[in-house]
Structure 1
Amino acid sequence: MIPALILFGLLCGRWWRLSLIAAALGWPVLLVAGDVMNVGPELLGAAGLAIANTGVGVLIHQGIRLAIRKIRHT
């Protein structure tokens, strides 16, 4: 399921703050709702992992945007 978070970051990378917040809140909620994890301190680790993976997608998205801008302005 980790590639899904990277894909989420790629798709929503334009709104990077909102996508990181949504990943940090949404991923632990999905884990609890799917009965994969119980509510506890481990959810902080899951939220951190979600932020990291979504951040990778956001960085790729922002890098592509920057490259396109440089190409257009030359």
Structure 2
Amino acid sequence: MIPTLILLGLVFGRWWRSSLMAAAVGWPVVLVATDVMSIEVGLLGASALATMNAAVGVVVHQMILRMTRQLRPAGSSRSGA
């Protein structure tokens, strides 16, 4: 499910390496555990597609993060005190 993996990247995009690794390893595990696929060479393709879909979410997250950093005034603090 493409939207699930894009959402994974959107939510956990700050930790992009972990997000991509979770998609690459976790999605094939889900496919095998739910009997959608058996352990075969095709899982490598599923892993690659899962990583690319999660990467889309990570890129969007990182772009939003950079835009908010640019729009935030330079002297503002997070605590507001």
Q: TM-score, normalised by structure 2?
A: 0.89
Q: Which has the greater radius of gyration?
A: 2
Give the CA deviation at 1:20: 0.2
Q: Aligned partners of 2:10, 2:2: CA distance in 1, in Å?
A: 13
In terms of fraction of residues, the more helix-rich structure is 1
Q: Aligned partners of 1:5, 1:22: CA distance in 2, in Å?
A: 10
Give the CA deviation at 1:71: 0.3
Q: Aligned partners of 1:73, 1:57: CA distance in 2, in Å?
A: 26
- For 1:60, the aligned partner's letter is V
Give the CA deviation at 1:40: 0.7
Structure 1: tracts of 5 or more residues without a match: none
* Runs ≥4 residues deviating over 4 A: none
Give the CA deviation at 1:73: 3.9
SS at match of 1:35: coil
Alignment: residue pair count: 74
- For 2:11, the aligned partner's letter is L
Structure 2: tracts of 5 or more residues without a match: 75-81
Q: Aligned partners of 1:38, 1:59: CA distance in 2, in Å?
A: 31
* 1:32 corresponds to: 32
Q: Aligned partners of 1:61, 1:5: CA distance in 2, in Å?
A: 13
